[in-house]
């Protein structure tokens, strides 16, 4: 019984730590593995509780740069926002206009994000990128990366910006009007049927709930004996 309980503890704790990471530009802090900072939580908006003063700042092209995400969930809605300034609280520019529906887990690398027109930035402007992922119950996860806009900065080389096979995404509004031009690298075939992915993730959630329920029962049982 104790072994079974330990198994479910392990299984559920890994689910809790799944979430997502920003691989490029370098994120503010490692909110997945930084054990020393127990205050970090991806559930905390706007930036998972990581202060904007840690100095992890990446030079990023003035005309829009690459972003590379490490997605752990089976599917997610992805919002990427931009805030201008040294340590902003207001991420009021959308770079995903308004958001993407991403299916599959692994690396999602976008070679070049499109910036809003007439964005008031110049060489040396400081900014922060906020990535928000959203699941079906509305729970949002947050991470941020700090950048400096640079004339001399470049996008990631093609070899450094590969999307995992089987991971696809599409812009939610663009797809409603026309075939999307967005593609997650080589394997960027478009996902046209959200219902199948939403359905399978619902099955997963039921399994998770069952596991948590069983775990609770095991604890109750263990305590009362
Ligand atoms: Cu997670």
- Beta-strand ranges (E) seen in the chain are 20-24, 57-61, 67-71, 75-84, 93-94, 100-103, 106-110, 126-134, 140-150, 168-171
* Fold type of domain 20-194: Coagulation Factor XIII; Chain A, domain 1 (2.70.50)
- What radius of gyration, in Å, describes the C-alpha atoms of the chain? 19
| CA–CA distances in Å: residue 42 to residues 46, 157, 210 | 9, 29, 24
Q: What is the pLDDT of residues 162-193, one digit of tens each?
A: 999 999 999 998 555 555 444 444 443 444 44
Q: What is the pLDDT of residues 11-57, one digit of tens each?
A: 444 445 579 999 999 999 999 998 888 899 999 999 999 999 999 99
Instruction: For residue 166, give the DSSP letter.
Output: T
User: Going by DSSP bridges, is the β-strand pair 75-84/126-134 parallel, antiparallel, or unpaired?
Assistant: antiparallel
Ligand 1 centroid vs 120 CA: distance in angstroms?
Answer: 35
Ligand 1 centroid vs 68 CA: distance in angstroms?
Answer: 17
Q: At what angle do helices 2-16 and 194-224 cross, to 10 degrees?
A: 140
> What was the pLDDT predicted at 18?
77
Quote the CA–CA distance of 198 and 205 in Å, as a whole number: 11
- Who wins on pLDDT, 38 or 201? 38
Ligand 1 centroid vs 211 CA: distance in angstroms?
Answer: 16
Ligand 1 centroid vs 108 CA: distance in angstroms?
Answer: 16
Judge contact between 67 and 79, C-beta under 8 A. no
Ligand 1 centroid vs 73 CA: distance in angstroms?
Answer: 6
Q: What is the pLDDT of residues 106-137, one digit of tens each?
A: 999 999 999 999 999 999 999 999 999 999 89
Sheet holding 106-110, edge to edge: 20-24, 67-71, 106-110
Measured between its terminal Cα atoms, the distance across the chain in Å is: 12
Ligand 1 centroid vs 119 CA: distance in angstroms?
Answer: 33
Quote the CA–CA distance of 145 and 91 in Å, as a whole number: 12
198 has a pLDDT exceeding 60: no
Ligand 1 centroid vs 117 CA: distance in angstroms?
Answer: 33
| Residue in the block written with tokens 């995903």 | 96
Give the DSSP H or E segment for 3: helix 2-16
């Amino acid at each position: 019984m104790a072994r079974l309980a330990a198994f479910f503890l392990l299984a559920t704790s890994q689910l809790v730590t799944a979430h997502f990471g920003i691989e490029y530009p370098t994120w503010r802090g490692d909110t997945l593995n930084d054990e020393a900072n127990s205050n970090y939580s991806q559930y905390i908006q706007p930036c998972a509780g990581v202060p904007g003063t840690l100095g992890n700042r990446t030079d990023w092209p003035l005309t829009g740069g690459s972003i590379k995400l490490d997605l752990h969930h089976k599917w997610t809605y992805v919002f990427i926002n931009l805030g201008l300034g040294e340590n902003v609280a207001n991420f009021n520019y959308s770079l995903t206009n308004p958001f993407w529906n991403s299916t599959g887990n692994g690396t999602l690398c976008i070679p070049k994000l499109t910036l809003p027109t007439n964005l008031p930035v110049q060489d040396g402007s400081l900014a922060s990128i906020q990535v928000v992922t959203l699941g079906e119950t509305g729970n949002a996860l947050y991470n941020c990366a700090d950048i400096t806009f640079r004339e001399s900065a470049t996008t990631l080389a093609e070899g450094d910006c590969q999307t995992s096979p089987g991971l696809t995404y599409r812009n939610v509004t663009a797809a409603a009007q026309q075939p999307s031009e967005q593609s997650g690298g080589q394997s960027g075939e478009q996902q046209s049927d959200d219902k199948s992915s939403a359905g399978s993730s619902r099955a997963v959630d039921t399994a998770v709930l069952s596991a948590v329920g069983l775990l609770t029962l095991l604890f109750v049982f263990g305590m009362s004996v």
